[in-house]
Structure 1
Amino acid sequence: MLKQRVITALVLLAVFLPALFAPVAAPFLALTLVLIAAAAWEWARLNGLAGAPALATGLLCAALCAGLWLGGAVARPLPALWLGVGALWIAGGAWLLRRGVAGWPRVPLIARWCAGLAVLTAAWLAMAQAHGMGVNFLLSVLALVWTADIGAYFAGRALGGRLTHGAKLARNISPGKSWEGVWGGMAGVLLLAAGWAWLDDAARPSLFARLHQAGPLWLALGALLLAGMSVVGDLAESLVKRSAGMKDSSGLLPGHGGVLDRIDALLPTLPLALALTGLMD
């Protein structure tokens, strides 16, 4: 299993890094479009659509993203859109987690299908716009999510249940996650945000430098919000998988599960990062 994970990670890096640092945006946009289409295929399967309907969902998502790309939306400032998407993620995430695993199948299939398609298309557009703001900006968003995840893992292993007397974050959705893990991830993100903002290149500002323009408090609150929403994205996907009785969204990435398993925390974080920085303009 570990060997599979390492090989898959190396292959992904060999494809992802050249596209990320290419002198033009097209390779990165094309690669992420393929990945988000695969995630849409997985989403359809998680919600009971297999075969041709799942494939059609992936192709439709690819077509929507391609239309936004060709229509120039990638390069167009869309602050109102990102504020709206961010607000919907905050309200919708709270609603979804409150309903729990049993509540998800009660949502009409067409609503679940449309919601997934909208979320994935918005996430691709947010990724494309973040890339357009500079590799440093996009990497800072990715690093925030990775740091929250890594910090939560180690803090959860070291302290899980000790400070909250065994209380779990979401026992019925993801039994392994603890409040201590969340707090550890947030502490790591605060350290990352402070260090990155301090060392940042003014000519190519990161997410943290943009937030720091409004002051240290805004930087801290913004970083904590994004770290918290990365957890919401992770839990939301776990809820859908558990309701479908599946451990992974697919086997597309050997040793890692599916594309959704790798990008779930980014789905709310990317739009919200653009919403927060849009408030700086």
Structure 2
Amino acid sequence: MLKQRIITALVLLAVLLPAMFAASPWPFALLTLAMIGAAGWEWSRLNAAPGGAALAYGVGIAAACGATLWALGMTAPPAWCWWLATSVWVLGGAYALRGGPTAWPHAPRLVRLLLGGIALWVAWLALAQAKALGINFLLSVFCLVWIADVAAYFGGRTLGRRKLAPAISPGKSWEGVWSGMAGVLLLALIWSQFIDVRFAVDTPSLYTRLLSQGLWIDLLALVVLAAMSVVGDLFESLVKRAAGAKDSSTLLPGHGGVLDRIDALLPVFPLAMAMVSLIAPP
């Protein structure tokens, strides 16, 4: 299993990194569009619409993203779009997690499919806009989610005592959440005080942009972002548990499905874009 995970990760990096570091934002936008389409296929299957319906749903999500790309190009949408998406994630996520896996299937299937489609579309749009802001900014948001997950995993294994949401994800603990937040704060310190200062980056990172608004605002924003990465992770776990599935699919050998890899990114990227929309460009 470990060998398979490593091989899959290397293949993904071999595809992702050239698109990410391309001078034009278009290769990254198109690659992530394909990934969002695959995630849409998985979402449909998890919500009682398998087979041809799932394929059509995934293609539809990708088509919606492509239409947005064709219509708007890399023009940023109004800031209120990011804040609306964030509000839906905060309120809707809290409502769904409170209901748990048993309540989720009772929601109308059309509503579940619509919510998933909107979440994927907005996340893709935020990804594309983050790339347009610069590689350093894009990487800083990616790494925030990754370090929150890694620090939470090791912190939970070492210190975990109090379960976070046993009915949804029995392995997660409150100690893991605090460890993830601590990891994010440490990463922000290193990135803003070393990487952004010592290296010829193309644009300020998320951390430097937030720090420009003051230390306490920076700390609060980072804690909220780390918390939302947990919400995204738990929400996908809830949907999988409601569907009786261990992984969203087997598209990524050793890793599960695309949704398993991007669940925490879905609320974080729109929220990050909402936050920087309040900050004057450097």
The TM-score, its normalising length taken from structure 1, stands at 0.96
Contact 1:230 1:269 in 2 (8 A): yes
| Equivalent residue, structure 2, for 1:151 | 151
How many Å apart are 1:230 and its aligned residue? 0.1
Take 1:20 and 1:73, find their aligned partners in 2: how far apart are those partners? 17
For 1:132 and 1:178, how far apart are their aligned partners in 2? 36
Deviation at 1:88, TM superposition (A): 1.1
Residue equivalent to 1:164: none
**For 1:261 and 1:78, how far apart are their aligned partners in 2?**
29
Residue matched to 1:123: 123
> Of residues 184, 187, 197 in structure 2, which corresponds to 1:189?
184
Aligned residue number for residue 234 of structure 1: 233
Q: What aligned pairs does 1:34-73 form with structure 2 within 5 A after superposition? A: 34-72=34-72
Change beyond 3 A, Cα 1:198–1:175: same
Q: Does 1:12 pair with 2:7? A: no
Equivalent position SS for 2:38: helix
Q: What is the SS of the residue equivalent to 2:172?
A: coil
1:76 maps to which residue? 76
Deviations 1:105-153 (A, max 9, x none): 0100000000000000000000000000000001000000001001001
Match of 1:256 in 2: 255
Per the TM alignment, residue 243 of structure 1 is displaced from its structure 2 partner at its CA by 0.2
Shift in Å, 1:272: 0.2
Q: CA–CA distance in 2 between the matches of 1:53 and 1:76?
A: 32
**Would you say 1:223 and 2:239 are equivalent positions?**
no
SS of 1:75 mapped into structure 2: coil
What's the secondary structure of 2:104's corresponding residue? helix
Partner of 2:142: 142
Question: 2: distance between equivalents of 1:73 and 1:265?
Answer: 26
Root mean square deviation, CA, Å = 1.0
C-alpha distance after superposition, 1:157-189 (max 9, x if no partner): 11010xxxxx21000000000100000010010
Specify the code of the residue in structure 2 equivalent to 1:169: L
Q: Distance in 2 between matches of 1:95 and 1:74?
A: 33
- 2:49 aligned counterpart, secondary structure: coil
Deviations 1:69-88 (Å, cap 9, x if unpaired)? 01115322421100111111
Alignment match, 1:209: 208
Asked if the contact 2:136–2:202 (Cα under 8 Å) also holds between the matched residues in 1, the reply is no
SS of 2:170's equivalent in the other structure is: coil
Aligned residue for 1:266?
265
CA distance in 2, matches of 1:14, 1:57: 28
Contact 1:160 1:179 in 2 (8 A): yes
Deviations 1:186-224 (A, max 9, x none): 001011112212231586111111111111111111110
| 1:247 aligned residue | 246
**Cα distance in 2 for residues equivalent to 1:8 and 1:227:** 26
Provide the aligned length of Structure 1 versus Structure 2. 276
* Aligned with residue 193 of structure 2, among 194, 198, 217: 198
Read off the aligned partner of 2:212 and give its amino acid letter: Q
Measure, in 1, the Cα distance between the counterparts of 2:73 and 2:150. Answer: 33
**Distance verdict in 2 for CA 1:115–1:73, change over 3 Å:** farther
Give SS of 2:74's match. Answer: helix
Partner of 2:99: 99
TM-score normalised according to structure 2 size: 0.96
User: 1: CA distance between counterparts of 2:92 and 2:225?
Assistant: 15
1:176 aligned counterpart, secondary structure: strand
Structure 1 match to 2:163: 168
Kept in 2, the 8 Å contact 1:233–1:267? The answer is: yes
Aligned counterpart, 1:177: 172
1:227 maps to a residue whose letter is A
Matches of 2:202 and 2:113 in 1, distance apart? 41
